Amino acid sequence: MRSHKGLCRALVGGIASLLATAFLTWGLSPVISCAQETSLVGEERAKLDTFEGVTLDKADKVYVAKDYPRALAEYDAFILQFPESKLVAYAIHRKARSLQWLEKRFEAIKVYQEVLDFFPNDVKYAAASLFRIGECHQQNGDVEKAIKTWLELADDADYAKEPLAAVALNHLAENFIKQGKADEGSKRYEQVALTFRASNPHAAMNAIANVRTHYVRTHPNAEKLRAFYVAARTFGPNPQNPPADEATDALYWTNVVAAIQAHGTFTDLQKDQRDTYYRYWAGQMQGKMVADDTFQIALAQWMRVYEKDDSLWAKRLDKQFADGQKEGNYARVVRWIGLFAPLKDKADEYYQKLDFAKMSNADVQNLVVTLVDVNGNVPMAKNALQKVRIDGLSDDARMAMIGWLQGRWQLPGTRELAVQTCRGFSDPVRGKMQALRYYHWRCQNPQIRIKEDFSEGLALAGELVGVPELARETFSIRGNLLQWSGKYEEAIKAYQQADNPPTTLFLIADCQHALGKLEPAVTQLREIENFFKDHAAVAALRIAYLYRDAGIKDKYVSALRGVLKKYPQSGQSSEAHQRLEEMGLPIGGGVDADAS
């Protein structure tokens, strides 16, 4: 039988006491574990004879159904009937687990202890039982005993390899860090990362992230960070052997640079710490990844933090550009224009390196976005926008260009270029329809629309209504443009020709309401309610609001009650209920509720 005497219980108890004190001092509450269940695998079930299997399957079935009182009885029956079974440890563990679920944790601890006392060499269930004992102590609020138990689990060479040990180790690591023992916490996280890379990848990835944070920010140490990276077989979810040459390991440095950036935030009172942090990592990055722009840009930026010298920063960026620039790589020039946003003269210098005659539209578009979003130079962006070449573009490319221009609507000149792009379609009808849609899009937004959008849009709609496949959409857009222009009578006629119920019927009702024609509007909505059941509740509630807006309170109230009665399960019913409550009126009643 295995012995636990070599676990240094006194030391474990002392550390546990310190961690528990930290919990109480900071007012921290225990974290309840959501650790996975310990279950049987196929080869274990193969150890059972027929009668054992039937009995244990019965117990497992009610356990999975969360019928824990019955599960408790069934596992007890198995233990009594088959005391020599090779899965008695499992049954005892599940018996204790059932007690724990029933919140009989003190009893559960005693049963878990039976596994440790009688089956310490059945590592899977002994380790799981030791973890659950700690969990019971935690749930009972006895933090010191919980931590003591988990330390015992973590420091046992065999038990610490079991999946639940990863949860215990992560708890311990977190507690050490909260207590200010960052090195000890990182040690436990490393144990999880290296031990459970395959068997508990979720816990391992959490641990890897914490170790990386420790060696990047808490106690910066490039040598230990690299050693851990190699031992963990990278920081990613798919382990692999990293290259031997750290200086050219792009995956490693991409990850490290991102971590340095992510953890590089300091307050105004931490300026010295900030400078020390970036000075250290800049020193570690010297001479590495020399052809990697992202790496070298980050290095230059971090040296700028503590050197506080823009001229040195600019020289480093200039050198990196010169060393790696190839003819025709205008995307890289645009990148440097953005990098030099804080130094307008330098940004202008790189702008002069552009040859618009040789640039692709994608490069020009990228330049426009950079000048607006990064440099904040709208005049220069407007000038660049005029360099976009739309001649020779396919119709699909023109569609993409128009969509991009809509996204940059704040920039002067986009409207003119969009309209010009529409005019160049090889299919003139498609181009005109896209222009109509563009005007329609602009008119929906009061912030950007101008009167010409309405007049030019309506003119195009007049041309396109004769195209059969576009007629319904064209009449609908024409109706929208007229309605938004305040020409409600004409809009109604356009919607009638669009014949796209119930959408156009709702819009017709809106126009009639705007004209002050209450009863025609109600009639239109009543038609929707009667013939379009999926929209009936919406139409009924809008009828109520028409009466409200007209100041006819009795019909308003009656219509609200009608919504409640006819559409009780709808969202509109809830809204009607709220409106009646706001008026302090009873919800039911009203002989006219059905007729409203």
pLDDT digits (tens, 9 = 90+) for 206-255: 999 999 999 999 999 999 999 999 999 999 999 999 999 999 999 999 99
Q: What dotted CATH number matches 1-180?
A: 1.25.40.10
Q: How confident is the model at residue 494 (pLDDT cuts 50, 70, 90)?
A: very high
- Alpha helices by DSSP H, listed for 290-446, are 293-307, 310-324, 330-339, 344-351, 361-373, 378-385, 395-407, 414-423, 428-443
Nearest CA to 164 out of 299, 7, 33, 298 is that of 33
CA-to-CA distance for 328 and 112, rounded, in angstroms?
71
Range(s) of the chain covered by CATH 1.25.40.10: 1-180, 501-596
- What mean pLDDT do residues 183-196 have? 91
For residue 398, the SS3 value is helix
Verify cis geometry, omega within 30 degrees of 0, for the bond prior to 502.
yes
Instruction: Give tens-digit pLDDT for 353-372.
Output: 999 999 999 999 999 999 99
CA-to-CA distance for 112 and 109, rounded, in angstroms?
5
pLDDT of residue 12: 38
CA-to-CA distance for 129 and 96, rounded, in angstroms?
8
3 state SS for 187-249 = HHHHHHHHHCCCCCHHHHHHHHHHHHHHHHHHCCCHHHHHHHHHHCCCCCCCCCCCCCCHHHC
Backbone angles phi, psi at 278, to 5 degrees: -70, -30
**pLDDT at residue 591 tops 50:** no
596 vs 523, higher pLDDT? 523
pLDDT of residue 5: 33
Instruction: Give tens-digit pLDDT for 118-158.
Output: 999 999 999 999 999 999 998 999 888 988 898 899 888 89
- Radius of gyration for the alpha carbons in the chain, expressed in angstroms and rounded: 36
In one letter, which amino acid is 51? F
In one letter, which amino acid is 292? D
CA-to-CA distance for 513 and 542, rounded, in angstroms?
11
Question: Which one of 1.10.600.10, 1.25.40.10, 3.40.640.10, 1.10.10.10 gives the CATH number of domain 501-596?
Answer: 1.25.40.10
Ranges 25-34, 118-127, 476-485: which has the least confidence: 25-34
Ranges 92-106, 304-318, 401-415, 476-490: which has the least confidence: 401-415
CA-to-CA distance for 385 and 417, rounded, in angstroms?
9
Q: How confident is the model at residue 47 (pLDDT cuts 50, 70, 90)?
A: confident
Nearest CA to 151 out of 12, 311, 317 is that of 12
Q: How confident is the model at residue 467 (pLDDT cuts 50, 70, 90)?
A: very high
Instruction: Give me the DSSP letters along 422-458.
Output: HHT-SSHHHHHHHHHHHHHHHHT-TTT--HHHHHHHH
Instruction: Give tens-digit pLDDT for 75-97.
Output: 999 999 999 999 999 999 999 99
Percent with pLDDT over 90 in the chain: 78
pLDDT of residue 29: 36
- What mean pLDDT do residues 511-531 have? 97
Contact 173, 189 (CB under 8 A): yes
Ranges 53-62, 160-169, 310-319: which has the least confidence: 160-169
Instruction: Give me the DSSP letters along 165-201.
Output: HHHHHHHHHHHHHHTT-HHHHHHHHHHHHHHSTTT-H
CA-to-CA distance for 505 and 350, rounded, in angstroms?
57
CA-to-CA distance for 42 and 141, rounded, in angstroms?
37
Residues 6+ apart with CB under 8 A from 182: 176, 214, 218, 219
**pLDDT at residue 193 tops 60:** yes
Q: How confident is the model at residue 21 (pLDDT cuts 50, 70, 90)?
A: very low
- What mean pLDDT do residues 319-348 have? 97
CA-to-CA distance for 416 and 191, rounded, in angstroms?
63
Angle between helices 428-443 and 451-464 (to 10 degrees): 140
- What mean pLDDT do residues 17-38 have? 45
- What mean pLDDT do residues 398-421 have? 92
Where does residue 2 fall: left (phi above 0), alpha (psi -120 to 50 degrees), or beta otherwise? beta
Mean pLDDT (the chain) is: 90
pLDDT of residue 588: 59
pLDDT of residue 595: 41
Angle between helices 344-351 and 330-339 (to 10 degrees): 170
- What mean pLDDT do residues 18-23 have? 38
pLDDT of residue 305: 96
**pLDDT at residue 336 tops 80:** yes
pLDDT of residue 168: 86
